[in-house]
Amino acid sequence: MTTTLRPYQSAAIDAVLDYWGNGGGNPLVSMATGTGKSVVIASLVRELHQINPDIRLLMLVHVKELVAQNVQALLRSYPTANIGINSAGLGRRDKRQPILFASVQSIHREDSYSIGRRDVVLIDEAHLVPRDGDGMYLKLMDRLRTASPDMRVAGFTATPYRLDSGRLDQGEGRLFDDMVVNYGIGEGIRDGYLSPLVSKATATSIDVAGVARRGGEFVTGALELAVDKDFITRGAVDEMVALGEARRSWLAFCAGVAHAEHVRDEIRRRGISCEMVSGDTPGGERDRIIRAFKDGQIRCLTNAMVLTTGFDAPMVDLVAMLRPTLSTGLYVQIVGRGTRLADGKSDCLVLDFAGNVRRHGPVDAISVETKGGSGKAKAEPDEVRAKECPGCNSLVALNTRTCPACEHQWPVEEKPKHAPVADGTARILLTEPPAWVQVDDIRYFRHAKEGKTPSMRVEYGCGMEVYREWICFEHEPGSFPRGKAVQWWRERAEGEVPATVAEALRRSGDILPPGEIRVRLKGKFWEIIGRRGVYEGEPPVAEEPAYEPQRRSWQRPDLDDTEIPF
């Protein structure tokens, strides 16, 4: 079955091309695991090549699996593309093709001329690019620029920060200039493209007090000594078996090779099929085990930190974290292994024996603080950003008053005179319910800024507050804003969706306005996320000012109607 680009995928391509069209340098695209970065990359390559057939592109990743995945995504949407592959793991060492897919390990020793001029470099899993000049990626970029001084680089990642240096688009020595797209786990779940996550507090916990740290993370050897204890392993496996009885595909993250082996052996003792993979597992054996796991022949797979990126197993419906981490990026990558959709999968259960949920907060509300030009991408061992519901053991946000799972009520406590600064709201997903407010007045306006595409601004008067949303009827077909406008109209009115703001305003009487809207604070602004009932006040007013802004001059050619599979 094939599908066209999803609205947010089209928006990501638009954002990158608009950024370059307006003279921008190196953009960063942040998209949650499971939302189709490979599809966006393939479509971007295809569109760039159609804009300029002479363009020379390089697609870089760090593992052979991602090389193969990105090649397949491009060939599905652009089967006539002239591509090459440079990956020792795949047995290919191509160099001269105009579209070249490569693993950075295979190609970083090449001089700046052996693979020819490269106008654009796309980097998947861009969080692996370091900030200093000693890494393979940056050395390769420097060499390529000797042949192509105006080369552009675009990065794609689910976690736009590093443990050692924070935000990828901030601070001295950064490769990426601006984050142009940020579509996270929360948005993906909200829009129905990712599987919901649920978490339960566990009786078994891992004590990291006294574990040595280096570079902001636990020292691997010291961490494994603290984690790999028989009583911890037995207790954790007992809970996995009890809570995962109805779950069909388990993935366990362990603190080291020996620890992963011990967890595997304990699970096998319970009569459950289980295998282990690590960096020491021979390539052929590792591929065989992973195929068997994906085919459902193995119920549980333990690993020693080799399945955090580039691993696609949609049916995973239980993630067990037995590896504590101070890295926010690593935590999000681990949890992201369970967010893909699959037939028969309603959600993914996260069992956090390592205290990572409490330590880092909800994965749909991760915020990397910015101080002095770099962000903080790590937590402290004793940070607490979640609490356990006494009614159902769910991990919920610290400020939650009503448990969303069992409706347990927490008493309202009197605020202390010196309230501590909140360190984040936390569960595996943000749960504090947004508020419903009654609509007292509705107005529709033409919203226009010079050089920008106009939109229809909808203003909802709710008591003393006014909440606004912008409906982008005139954005390009297939773009994310136009897709949201189409959805907005079809949910509220009959007939063909307006092509212009003027038409929408003329037909505003056809719109069925809501009696209540649901709002939540997103950053500094309110966001409307729900509507219900029917407005019973005076008929909404539609106003259209005379000002007509100019459209941007940089335009891309229309693509054909080829459907792109996801």
The DSSP letter of residue 436 is: E
pLDDT band at 27 (very low <50, low <70, confident <90, very high): very high
Given a cut of 70, whether residue 419 has pLDDT beyond it is: no
Given a cut of 80, whether residue 259 has pLDDT beyond it is: yes
Predicted pLDDT at 2: 43
Over the stretch 209-231, which tens digit does the pLDDT of each residue have? 889 999 889 999 999 999 999 99
Contact 120, 88 (CB under 8 A): no
Given a cut of 60, whether residue 422 has pLDDT beyond it is: no
Predicted pLDDT at 553: 31
How many Cβ atoms from other residues are within 10 Å of residue 253's Cβ? 28
29-43: burial string, b at 16+ Cβ within 10 Å, e else: bbbbbbbbbbbbbbb
CA distances to 69, 152, 199 from 338, rounded to whole Å, are 19, 33, 12
Predicted pLDDT at 414: 52
Angstrom distance (rounded) from CA 114 to CA 86: 12
**Chain centroid, CA 253 distance in Å:** 20
Tokens describing residue 215: 């570079």
Mean pLDDT of 133-140: 77
Predicted pLDDT at 364: 74
Structure-derived torsion over alpha carbons of residues 530, 535, 541, 544, reported in degrees to the nearest 10: 20
pLDDT band at 129 (very low <50, low <70, confident <90, very high): confident
Mean pLDDT of 46-62: 92
Euclidean distance between the first and the last CA atom of the chain, given in angstroms as a whole number: 9
| Higher pLDDT among residues 312 and 351, named by residue | 351
Is the overall model pTM greater than 0.85, yes or no? Answer: no
Mean pLDDT score across all residues of the chain: 84
Amino acid 514 reads P
Predicted pLDDT at 283: 86
478-502: burial string, b at 16+ Cβ within 10 Å, e else: bbbbbbbbbebbeeebeeeebeebb
Over the stretch 425-455, which tens digit does the pLDDT of each residue have? 345 665 444 678 899 889 999 988 877 899 9
Predicted pLDDT at 525: 74
pLDDT band at 384 (very low <50, low <70, confident <90, very high): confident
- Using DSSP, state whether 162 is helix, strand or coil: strand
Predicted pLDDT at 45: 94
Over the stretch 63-120, which tens digit does the pLDDT of each residue have? 888 899 899 999 998 999 999 999 888 889 999 899 999 988 888 776 656 888 999 9
Portion of the chain with pLDDT greater than 90, in percent:
47
| Higher pLDDT among residues 133 and 340, named by residue | 340
Long-range contacts of 544-549 (CB under 8 A, 24+ apart): 544/445, 544/446, 544/501, 544/502, 544/505, 545/445, 545/446, 545/448, 547/448, 548/448, 548/454, 549/448, 549/449, 549/450, 549/451, 549/452, 549/453, 549/454
The DSSP letter of residue 525 is: E
How many Cβ atoms from other residues are within 10 Å of residue 282's Cβ? 8
DSSP 193-240: SS--EEEE--S-----TT--EETTEE-HHHHHHHH--HHHHHHHHHHH
Given a cut of 80, whether residue 365 has pLDDT beyond it is: no
Given a cut of 80, whether residue 480 has pLDDT beyond it is: no
Angstrom distance (rounded) from CA 400 to CA 198: 15
Nearest of 8, 427, 405 to residue 193 by alpha carbon? 8
pLDDT band at 372 (very low <50, low <70, confident <90, very high): very low
Place of tokens 């022949």: 297
Given a cut of 90, whether residue 234 has pLDDT beyond it is: yes
pLDDT band at 167 (very low <50, low <70, confident <90, very high): confident
Place of tokens 């006040």: 537
- Using DSSP, state whether 544 is helix, strand or coil: coil
Amino acid 437 reads V
Tokens describing residue 392: 């159902």
Predicted pLDDT at 39: 93
Angstrom distance (rounded) from CA 262 to CA 276: 10
Predicted pLDDT at 379: 72
The DSSP letter of residue 509 is: G
Portion of the chain with pLDDT greater than 70, in percent:
85
